[in-house]
Structure 1
């Protein structure tokens, strides 16, 4: 198994002054990514521009009903996207509702050949760790995008000093991860500047290390595992409904692009350091 250096395009939005990516137009952003060894770009648009820049376009989307899975998969397959990470459901589904959504995603992938990865994400059917494990027990063939920060913060995984136990319970999830979106949070914030001296940083490294080891040791490890830092700005959205997300401070205290490079190198080093 090899790491492919991907990145989420949204992480280049509104970079602070002093960042190598500050103020760049899309063609310049894509040239910057290529110059720093990135291969794939996760985005909801600009796929042709990404491909023309010599990078691999990867999709993202949302599926709220079983009927939406196939049209989205066809669209992304026709666009030549390498894979698609999906936010599936709202988190209010019954177990049977989750099963119908999971089956629809599997069927759409099989019918189109488009690789569909269900993302672990708040406000979706995979927002809960236990229910995600239960879903995988019913549908072990599902592919996942792991965004661990959603669970680390959302489930307050360090509560009671039981982080190691909670992490071990996630092995069934780690065994089905086919792409990763990478950032580091705290118990109260899903994304914070990198601080290698903090316990939260060490927790995220431990989780990433365990995920890579479990996935590599699974019966069907991918030949290539795309790993994409997703470090988003303080504000997302346009118009009257734009609202602060506070993934970053305003003004930002860190250079998210420099931190993305650090996270990419960290993942590569972790995998390289594992025993054969």
Structure 2
């Protein structure tokens, strides 16, 4: 997505979560388009992206980091804000570390930051075989990947599983770019194999980057079942707060606080 005044350089680049796509976050980001230009790309293997994404097991998200660094290199203008949700938040942080002179701050919405000992262990040789047994990876491989139409997919998802509580507008945006035509129906743009591969690719430890980035970092954590183990005040320069009543999907279900955090970052010169 490209929101706001296309004549100005991008102020904010927002990166979606694993299995999602940029359009899923339209209702979060669109209200900010009056004050900023916002780019929200589809990551490799998601949405409308045509970059190759073979469903093989990977050790880390460094390939996604490098894609984002390449995108930053293609953008001309002053330093920008990088932001994202879940996996996308960590990719934003890692890309900021690759191009610190092009980034002014990072906003992370319930990022996947494992406890430090676990994060260190996930970088060890051979640990990837264990990561493949994650329940999230196993569940992704079992996802139904074909439907007769997007409307059928909407009906199948509405009020169920991870989609419980999603507003219809958000679910419709997810389905619109989350599926592509396949024969006489539609299939997931992010294949179950690629989604599982991302869940298992936990070999990129974000803790050193959080300590050394040298740019303001804002983290919003879910109150319930957060994927972020960073505590308030734990790291200098990293502002951590909790979204009351929010679960991991709060950017879609409770967008006011994350939108306010993005807006505040945009207001800092």
Task: Tell me the TM-score range normalised by the shorter chain.
Answer: 0.3 to 0.5
What is the TM-score normalised by the length of structure 1?
Answer: 0.32
Higher relative contact order (CA 8 A, sep 6+): 2
